[in-house]
């Protein structure tokens, strides 16, 4: 190419470079996500039109003592709008993605007043891609907070609204990393895909709110260990930047039911106290339609009295 004017040459080179970047970005955006290999037995269980409700006896460490309470893990498949990141309830379906949703709740008392925590996490089913969204609300008689992470491109965009002065209202952005809150869904999808070794992880949102910690990507050592004498496995997450260990025990066979967990953190007044949860009851039900007084019997079946 014979270009006599140097400014014209610079402009042409810039145009070529811009076009190359555009093509590269377009290729990155359109790159297919790795498919998740799920067999028919998994689909038969999770696409049956019901949710799986699990109740656990909870021994929660708080203010240096162990508090008794209940934890409930609710797993259900759901149509989700990947762009708006809300439940699909009608209209065009081009952005609809099937997700495994977990609603995880804890209720316990400290002295005269109660705590109520709830986390929702939405994990794609067809592709082995990061969870699209996680949100947590925490209520107690001093005040409440709400936090949320949304996957936008290759980052999690976060927000926090809190009663507490040090936290206040905040917006932030994090590099994409495995969410501790999505580990529970990954176990139910396929525990063989759980990462091992030294990994990057965003801690569980309920833990962050109870400890009033900033949301950051942390370094974790992750390991899978068979449970002696049982057809079960334990997934251990050992945080390297601070004193916290989470161990989740689950069944090896489909549907990989979560049997319980232990969480130890040496921070604050809790010292080295260990929070534990042990599965007591499981119920499969389309619970969203069970809202009459007559349906209250299901609470007893679930062990919530």
Tally of structural domains, the chain: 1
Q: What percent of the chain has pLDDT over 90?
A: 81
Grade residue 284 by pLDDT with cuts at 50, 70 and 90: very high
Q: pTM value?
A: 0.87
Q: What's the average model confidence in pLDDT over 184-208?
A: 97
> Is residue 27 in some structural domain?
no
Res 11 pLDDT > 90: no
Residues 6+ apart with CB under 8 A from 89: none
Q: How far apart are CA 97 and CA 138, in angstroms?
A: 28
> Is residue 201 in some structural domain?
yes
> Is residue 17 in some structural domain?
no
Q: What's the average model confidence in pLDDT over 267-274?
A: 76
In contact, 277 and 58? CB cutoff 8 Å: yes
Q: Which residues face 159 on adjacent strands?
A: 148, 171
Res 128 pLDDT > 60: yes
Q: How far apart are CA 145 and CA 165, in angstroms?
A: 11
Residues 6+ apart with CB under 8 A from 179: 121, 130, 131, 134, 149, 201, 202
Residue 126 lies in domain: 37-301
| DSSP H or E stretch at residue 13 | helix 6-30
> Is residue 3 in some structural domain?
no
Give tens-digit pLDDT for 19-55.
333 333 333 333 456 678 788 999 999 999 999 999 9
> Is residue 196 in some structural domain?
yes
Q: What's the pLDDT at 28?
A: 33
| Helix (H/G/I), strand (E/B), else coil: 9 | helix
How does the average pLDDT of the chain come out, rounded? 89
Q: How far apart are CA 45 and CA 41, in angstroms?
A: 6
Q: How far apart are CA 197 and CA 65, in angstroms?
A: 32
Q: What's the pLDDT at 268?
A: 64
Cis preceding-peptide flag for 65 (omega within 30 of 0): no
> Is residue 110 in some structural domain?
yes
> Is residue 5 in some structural domain?
no
Identify the CA nearest to 138 among candidates 147, 130, 129: 147
> Is residue 26 in some structural domain?
no
Residues 6+ apart with CB under 8 A from 166: 212
């Amino acid at each position: 190419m014979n270009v006599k004017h140097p400014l014209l040459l610079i402009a042409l080179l810039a145009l070529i470079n811009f076009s190359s970047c555009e093509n590269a970005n377009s290729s990155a955006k359109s790159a297919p996500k790795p498919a998740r290999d799920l067999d028919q037995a998994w689909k038969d269980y999770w696409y049956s039109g019901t949710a799986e409700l699990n109740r656990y006896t909870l021994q929660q460490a708080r203010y240096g003592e162990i508090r008794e309470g209940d934890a409930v893990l609710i797993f259900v498949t759901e149509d989700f709008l990947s762009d708006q990141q809300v439940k699909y309830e009608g209209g065009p379906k081009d952005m609809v993605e099937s997700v495994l949703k977990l609603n995880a709740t804890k209720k316990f008392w400290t002295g005269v007043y109660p705590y109520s925590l709830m986390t929702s996490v939405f994990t794609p089913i067809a592709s082995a891609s990061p969870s699209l969204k996680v949100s947590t609300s925490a209520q107690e008689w001093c005040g409440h907070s709400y936090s949320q992470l949304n996957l936008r491109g290759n980052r999690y965009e976060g927000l926090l609204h809190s009663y507490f002065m040090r936290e206040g209202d905040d917006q932030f952005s994090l590099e994409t990393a495995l969410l501790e809150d999505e580990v529970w869904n990954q176990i139910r999808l396929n525990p063989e895909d759980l990462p091992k070794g030294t990994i990057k992880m965003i801690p569980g949102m309920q833990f962050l709110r109870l400890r009033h910690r900033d949301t950051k990507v942390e370094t974790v050592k992750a390991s899978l260990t068979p449970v002696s004498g049982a057809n079960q496995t334990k997934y251990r997450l050992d945080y390297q930047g601070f004193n916290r260990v989470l161990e989740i025990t689950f069944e090896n066979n489909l549907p990989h039911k979560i049997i319980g967990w232990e969480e130890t953190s040496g921070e604050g007044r809790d010292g080295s106290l260990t929070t534990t949860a042990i599965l007591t009851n499981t119920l499969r039900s389309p619970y969203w339609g069970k809202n009459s007084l007559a349906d209250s019997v299901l609470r007893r079946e679930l062990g919530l009295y």
